[in-house]
Amino acid sequence: MKKLTMILSFVLLIALNFASCESNQSNESSSNQNTDNQTNQDTGLDDKENENTGDDMTEKTYPPCVNIDGKVYKDTGYIHGMIKCGTYDGEIDSTVKISELPKKHNQSNFGVGYGYQVWGDDMVLVHIKEENSRDMHFYIFYDINKKLDSIPDGVCNITALVKEVDEENAKIKVSEIEIPEEYGYFEFPNDDEKALIEMPTDNYFDEDMTDKTVDITKLKDKKIRVYFDGDHKDFQKGYLNTVYRIEIVEEAN
């Protein structure tokens, strides 16, 4: 009997120890799980915060603009070809960031020291030096609140007859060039009025004026009007680098 009692006591002791170990493991597992969940929640918050921070860092930018007498004008990208000298009406003397619009008179969002001339109610010509060049041009700035539906007055243009079409390189050569009187300072290559002038056709628009991807072979033997940047030095060398638009004027006779 005594021996049986000892055996039962030993079995009970083992059972109690086993239950205690299982409880500790369960508590430890629960504790670890809570820690992991808290870590994941913290990480999730950090990721979300970083994502929002990234969105907040995106700044809106504007085109180059100037404020003259309280009106804002934006750069059209066109160069005015009729001015080669003249007196400034004023000069840009303060600036703001490109992410802002200028709010003060004689202020820009791209720098200071630029002279300008006012042309009518909607246009200002700003004298800007070309990047990596000594050349300066009068860039056309237009009233930011008005839509510019056509190439503005003063942009250099010529009419000419298309003699050759290089479809592979998207270029044409023209002759029989007519230069408007206001651009009479242009000189033909070797003083030859029949000289060929080469130009790119990137900005040739088809008749519907909506598609740049057009068949330039249509230009062969057509009389065209070409709007360009007015670089008379390139013209004298027999080519145009910056062409704003090519339009068909009429069929050749």
- pLDDT on residue 188: 85
| 101 contacts 65 by C-beta, under 8 angstroms | yes
The tokens describing 167, both together, are: 């479809």
pLDDT tens digits in sequence order for the chain, 253 residues long: 444 444 445 444 445 454 544 444 444 444 444 434 433 333 333 333 333 334 445 678 899 999 999 999 999 999 998 776 678 999 999 999 999 999 999 999 999 999 999 998 999 999 997 766 667 889 999 999 999 988 998 999 999 999 999 999 999 999 999 988 888 778 888 788 788 999 999 888 765 545 555 788 989 999 999 999 988 888 989 999 999 999 998 765 5
What is each CA distance from 104 to 88, 92, 93, 111, in whole angstroms? Answer: 18, 10, 10, 14
Query: Beta-carbon neighbour count of residue 67 at 10 Å?
Result: 22
Tell me how far apart the alpha carbons of residues 79 and 141 are, in angstroms, rounded to a whole number.
Answer: 9
Global pTM value: 0.70
What pLDDT does 84 receive? 61
pLDDT given at position 208: 53
Which residue intervals of 137-249 are DSSP H helices? 232-237
CA distance 250 to 224: 7
> Strand pairing partners for 123?
119, 142
Kindly list the distances between the CA atom of residue 35 and the CA atoms of 25, 26, 32, in Å, as whole numbers in the listed order.
15, 14, 5
Token pair belonging to 79: 């160069």
Question: What is the spatial distance between Cα 186 and Cα 158, in angstroms, rounded to a whole number?
Answer: 11
Burial class (CB in 10 A: 0-12, 13-18, 19+), 5: exposed
List of domains in the chain: 65-143 (no CATH), 157-251 (2.40.50)
pLDDT of residue 252: 56
Alpha helical stretches, state H, 57-175? none
Q: How far is residue 208's CA from residue 204's CA, in Å, rounded to a whole number?
A: 11
Locate the DSSP E strands across 97-179.
Answer: 107-108, 115-119, 123-129, 136-143, 157-166, 171-178
Phi first, then psi, for residue 19 (nearest 5°) are: -65, -40
Stated as kind and residue range, the H or E segment containing 49 is helix 2-56
Among 212, 211, 207, 204, CA closest to 165: 204
